[in-house]
Structure 1
Amino acid sequence: MDTATHVVMGFAIGGLATLDPVVAETTVNSQSVLVAAIIGSQIPDIDTFLKLRNNAVYIRNHRGITHSLPAVLFWSILVAFFVNLIFPGSNLAHLWIWSLVAVSLHVFVDIFNAYGTQALRPLSSKWVALGMINTFDPYIFGIHVVGIVIWLLGGDPGYTFLVMYVVIAFYYILRYVMQQMVRSAVLKTLPDADRIIVASTMYFNQWRIAVTTKDHYYVGRAYRRSLTIFDKFKRIPVPDTEIFRAAKKDKNVSAFLSFSPIYRWEVKRHEDFTEVRFIDLRYRSNGHYPFVAIVKLTDDLEIITSYTGWVYSEEKLRKKLRVATD
């Protein structure tokens, strides 16, 4: 989820924790748990700072080890002990329990986005991305805001957020059912599909579609059960040639390929260099595919420049490549 949603979730967990008799027993316990819940709901995303290094490192590692099973335990212990230093006298055991709830919920809800996480590490390095909930879901964010307002107006935070999370649980079930309906509609249109990615958007009834069949890639949108195919590409395996072997050694291309499950490739020969491009097919927006990896190679297969990330125009991509060269 986005940062704002994780913040309001932290407040909600802090309010929910007042149902715990030990937390509600003293002011220091309730205050410390609220602070721990807010920090715990954010701390797995500390790897966002990797973006300061470069996009390749960020893409390869964001929501990776920081969202893994050992990390959930590590973050919760770290948060509990840190907050206990700020609030001496708070109940450390219950501080840890609610820190664990906050961190676990952060990782859990991220699984339902199209980006996903490597939440099963070290058992598996596979990306778990269910795509049922948009990174920012206005309904989930809105119901959290309503709960916080009720709390500020004097409502009981424990029962308010308990009811709220029951409602959100039913919302997740609804989104799952809707996603399966769209998947069924895709299979009716493309019965030979061997992989179907159905990802939510900001709009309740609209879904992004990326499909592979034996011979083609299909990209489209669904509105309820109505499917529209925008693009169809021939499915051609990446050639096992010297150019592509050299391209795959580039850090940006390597990071892209480790993350993207459905992509196509292009190669263009220019006067002084060869350009290899990989294009993720999951994020089509206004006729453009913004998530790419591109590398320029000399005739001797040395890397001139490369880039991976989200760009929304060819002009901006060329600018980023020039910056990388400089």
Structure 2
Amino acid sequence: MDTGTHIVMGVALAGLSTLDPVVNNDPVLFNAILVGTIVGSHAPDFDTVLKLRNNATYIRHHRGVTHSVPAVIFWGVLIASLIHLFFPQVNFWHLYGWTALAVIIHVFVDIFNAYGTQAYRPFTDKWIAHGFINTFDPYIFTLHLAGIVAWILGANPGTTWILIYTVILLYYIKRYMDKREIVKTIKEYFPDTIAVATSPTIKQNYWRVAVTTENRFYVGTVENGHIEIVDEFQKIALPDSSVIDIAKTDKNVSAFLSFSPVYRWEINEFDDYTEVRFIDLRYRSKTFYPFVAVVQINMDNEIISSYTGWIFSEHKLQNKLYVGDSPI
């Protein structure tokens, strides 16, 4: 989820904590928990600072180790311990319990969007992305804002948040059923379907899909239950060549390949260099595929430039290749 939603979820958890009699009867403990749930709800995304280094590092590690099982335990202990230094009189285990719950819920809700997380590390590095809740969902965010306003106006926080989270749970079930119906329809139309990547949008009735079959990739949209295929590509395995081998050693390409499950590739020959391009098919925007990895290799088999990330025009991509991330 986005930062704003994680923060309001932290506030909501603090409201739910008032159902705990120990918390409800101790204002100081409640204040400590409020800090803990807000910080804990955002903590796994502290890895956003990796963007300051380069896109490759960010893509490879964002929602990776910071969302793993050990990290979930670490964040809860660290945040609760730091807060306890300022509130030594409060019950540590109640503080830790609600703070840890905020971290767990952060990681849990992230697995439902198209980006996903590596939440099962260290048991597996597989990305878990169920793809039926948008990264920013206006309904979920608005329900949280409504709950906060109701709380400010005097509503009982425990009752308010139980009601709101019951509605949100039903909403998740509804979105899951929407996705299941989309996948079912696609598999009926393409019997040799291997995988379907779904990307919900802010619009409730509009989805993006990327379909992998035995021999082709299909990219399409789903609006009001109607599926429209807008692009298709032949599924071709990467060739066994020195150019591809060199490209795979590049940090930007390596990061892209570690993250993207549905992509096509192309090799373009120029006078002075060869360009290898990898294109993620999940994020089509109008007629453009903005998430790419590109590497340029000169005639001496040296990487002269590379880039990975989100880019929305060929002109900007070429600028990035020359003034953006440096090659290895």
In 1, Cα distance between equivalents of 2:211 and 2:279: 14
Q: What residue ranges of structure 1 are gaps of 5+ in the alignment?
A: none
Question: Is the aligned partner of 1:170 residue 2:170?
Answer: yes
Q: What residue ranges of structure 2 are gaps of 5+ in the alignment?
A: none
CA RMSD of aligned residues (A): 1.0
Runs of 4+ off more than 3 Å: none
* TM-score, reference length from structure 2: 0.98
Q: Give the drift of 1:188.
A: 2.3
In 2, Cα distance between equivalents of 1:224 and 1:149: 33
In 1, Cα distance between equivalents of 2:324 and 2:139: 40
In 1, Cα distance between equivalents of 2:86 and 2:148: 24
In 1, Cα distance between equivalents of 2:162 and 2:91: 22
Contact in 2 for aligned 1:182/1:224 (Cα 8 Å): no
Describe the superposition over 1:141-161 as per-residue Cα deviations: whole angstroms up to 9, x where unpaired: 010000000001111111101
Contact in 2 for aligned 1:297/1:304 (Cα 8 Å): yes
Paired position in structure 2 for 1:4: 4
* Paired residue type of 2:279: I
Paired position in structure 2 for 1:126: 126
In 2, Cα distance between equivalents of 1:223 and 1:308: 30
In 1, Cα distance between equivalents of 2:244 and 2:30: 57
* Paired residue type of 2:76: S
In 2, Cα distance between equivalents of 1:64 and 1:132: 20
Q: Give the drift of 1:88.
A: 2.7
Paired position in structure 2 for 1:93: 93
In 1, Cα distance between equivalents of 2:134 and 2:324: 31
In 1, Cα distance between equivalents of 2:86 and 2:123: 35
Q: Give the drift of 1:223.
A: 1.4
In 1, Cα distance between equivalents of 2:162 and 2:213: 44
What are the within-5 Å matches in structure 2 for residues 1-326 of structure 1?
1-324=1-324
Q: Give the drift of 1:97.
A: 0.3
In 2, Cα distance between equivalents of 1:195 and 1:32: 45
Contact in 2 for aligned 1:185/1:226 (Cα 8 Å): no
Moved more, 48-57 or 83-92: 83-92
* TM-score, reference length from structure 1: 0.98
Q: Give the drift of 1:291.
A: 0.1
Describe the superposition over 1:12-39 as per-residue Cα deviations: whole angstroms up to 9, x where unpaired: 0011101111111111011110110000
SS at match of 1:88: coil
In 2, Cα distance between equivalents of 1:198 and 1:63: 19
Contact in 1 for aligned 2:222/2:228 (Cα 8 Å): yes
In 1, Cα distance between equivalents of 2:22 and 2:323: 56
Q: Give the drift of 1:197.
A: 1.2
Quick one: percent identity of the two aligned structures? Answer: 55
In 2, Cα distance between equivalents of 1:179 and 1:266: 31
Contact in 2 for aligned 1:36/1:95 (Cα 8 Å): yes
In 2, Cα distance between equivalents of 1:107 and 1:234: 35
Describe the superposition over 1:85-141 as per-residue Cα deviations: whole angstroms up to 9, x where unpaired: 122311111000001110000000000010000000111111000001000000000
* Paired residue type of 2:155: G
Moved more, 37-46 or 193-202: 193-202
Q: Give the drift of 1:224.
A: 3.1
In 1, Cα distance between equivalents of 2:57 and 2:196: 28
In 1, Cα distance between equivalents of 2:213 and 2:137: 30
SS at match of 1:42: helix
Contact in 1 for aligned 2:55/2:325 (Cα 8 Å): no
Contact in 2 for aligned 1:304/1:325 (Cα 8 Å): no
In 2, Cα distance between equivalents of 1:278 and 1:85: 49
In 2, Cα distance between equivalents of 1:95 and 1:260: 38
Contact in 2 for aligned 1:185/1:225 (Cα 8 Å): no
In 2, Cα distance between equivalents of 1:53 and 1:62: 12
SS at match of 1:194: strand
SS at match of 1:229: strand
In 1, Cα distance between equivalents of 2:124 and 2:62: 16
Q: Give the drift of 1:83.
A: 1.0
Q: Give the drift of 1:189.
A: 2.0
